Amino acid sequence: MSRTILLALIAAAAAWAPSALSGKASSSHSGVQVANKTLPERLGYPPDAKLLIVHADDLGMARSVNAATIKAFESGLVSSGSIMVPCPWLPEIAAYARTHAEADLGLHLTLTSEWTPYRWGPVLSKDRVASLLDNSGYFYLTESEAASHANAKEVEAEIRAQIDRARSFGIHPTHLDSHMGTLYQNKTLFETLLRVARENKLPIRMSKEWLASTDYLPSILSPNDVAIDKIISIEPSVPAEGWSKFYADSIRNIQPGVTEMIIHLAYDDEEMRAATADHPDWGSAWRQRDLQFFTSDTFRKLLQENHIKLITWREIGKMQYPQP
């Protein structure tokens, strides 16, 4: 998730959120009263706990992404990730998911294909989702193009197919989000995401900051919907030499509540350099810098010094949709 929607998620002030989303819901899925509880309390932590999901996007996109992210999972410093089902390296990360049932893996629902030398298209046959495809038969390059052309029924059919395909590969997703934020671009697309997520009993990525930046959410959110407090993601305006400082400052400034830090991991190798040759933002060097920081002793020490606990989307999902 990046580009337009992520800027909105990060920049908006948390001026408004329904009581359910602020951690003061009037009822939970089971109807139990949880009034006046913070989101950490609802998750079983102290009310002032600083909880952090370190989330790696784009699994399945390339072997380099898979390998780097698995290494990061094994470090214990990256707690979550999400998979791009339409991409060529899905079978490899699906095999990992089948043998690592504890891994917190969601689906990075994909309706865009941003790298010009390396493209992908839908899970469904192209004639069923024609509005999602550019003149070359691939997903559009940008989220704005995708959103402007998309037929909502075709979007819903495709994202349902991606969920079904993931499950057919033995992946049991813990949450849903949207590659490049395409499904957050307008009310119709977000309603589609929300409906599919609810039916599948999966939490979705949304923050109170983003809620404050929109005017249509009060009419479509329910008391059971959960928003985390803040989302952090580095942007192209940060120079390479300022990478570690950006992340260190962000970690030191984390407040009580639930924060997600979205990162993009890969090796700066031949595969990633070729795939992202004309797209340095979120490209191979970017991803190598993220990998180096988030598997470092510096990051581990920052977590300890600032009393930050890593959590997962699985925990949020169990709270939002408790098993009977």
Closest listed residue to residue 111, CA positions, set 204, 43, 179, 157: 179
CA distance 301 to 284: 26
Report the pLDDT value the prediction gives residue 30, as an integer from 0 to 100. 41
How many of the other CB atoms lie within 10 Å of CB of 280?
Answer: 11
* Per-block mean pLDDT, blocks of 10 residues, the chain (324 long): 44 35 40 69 97 98 98 98 98 98 98 97 98 98 98 98 98 98 95 97 93 77 92 97 98 98 98 95 97 98 98 98 90
Three-state SS annotation for 65-134: HHHHHHHHHHHCCCCEEEECCCCCCHHHHHHHHHHCCCCCEEEEECCECCCCCCCCCCCCCHHHCHHHEC
Closest listed residue to residue 314, CA positions, set 135, 86, 82: 82
Report the pLDDT value the prediction gives residue 26, as an integer from 0 to 100. 36
What secondary structure letter does DSSP report for 165? Answer: H
All structural domains of the chain, each given as residue ranges with its CATH number in brackets, are 3-320 (3.20.20.370)
Structure tokens at 74: 């094994």
Report the pLDDT value the prediction gives residue 35, as an integer from 0 to 100. 54
pTM above 0.75, yes or no: yes
Is the Cβ–Cβ distance between 26 and 20 less than 8 Å? yes
CA distance 203 to 223: 13
Report the pLDDT value the prediction gives residue 300, as an integer from 0 to 100. 98
Report the pLDDT value the prediction gives residue 32, as an integer from 0 to 100. 44
Is the Cβ–Cβ distance between 269 and 276 less than 8 Å? no
Is the Cβ–Cβ distance between 18 and 226 less than 8 Å? no
Report the pLDDT value the prediction gives residue 213, as an integer from 0 to 100. 79
Report the pLDDT value the prediction gives residue 83, as an integer from 0 to 100. 98
Report the pLDDT value the prediction gives residue 263, as an integer from 0 to 100. 98
At residue 10, the 3 state secondary structure works out as helix
Beta-carbon contacts of 27 under 8 Å, excluding residues fewer than 6 positions away, are 33, 34, 223, 224
